[in-house]
Amino acid sequence: MVGVDFGYVSPEVMKRQAGETTLIEGVPTLVVEIQSPSDKLSEIEEKIDLYLRCGVSLVWAINPMRRTATVYRPGALPRLVTEEEELSGEEAMPGLAVPLRQLFE
């Protein structure tokens, strides 16, 4: 069990939830990890590895101080996104596109 800063859980996973709870039994499609000044890079990397091993399709690691994001997908190299670019839902969430700059406004 881990806590995420933000996640998207598909309707299929949500259908399996019982009762009123904030705990989700299942795997999110998208996890967003937002780096705070007190976070250690090694701890963030451990969390991202755990998310991917558990079956998360897409992870966005946001670095507000550098105004960048790193995109992680299972079996692929991480990709750096600058604030001039968009974050994409790729195959995990087709049609999702967020200009990274908007997240910092």
Contact 38, 64 (CB under 8 A): no
Secondary structure (3-state) at 50: helix
> What CATH number labels 6-17+24-103?
3.90.1570.10
- Map out the domains of the chain as residue ranges: 6-17+24-103
Nearest to 5 by CA among 66, 69, 53: 69
For residue 7, what pLDDT is reported? 83
pLDDT digits (tens, 9 = 90+) for 48-66: 999 999 899 999 999 999 9
Strand pairing category for 79-82 and 6-8: unpaired
Q: In the predicted model, is pLDDT for residue 12 greater than 90?
A: no
Environment class of 25 (CB within 10 Å of its CB; exposed 0-12, middle 13-18, buried 19+): exposed
What's the mean pLDDT in 66-76? 96
pTM, rounded to two decimals: 0.86
For residue 2, what pLDDT is reported? 62
**Left (φ > 0), alpha (ψ -120 to 50) or beta: where does 7 sit?**
beta
**Left (φ > 0), alpha (ψ -120 to 50) or beta: where does 67 sit?**
left
Per-chain mean pLDDT for the chain: 88
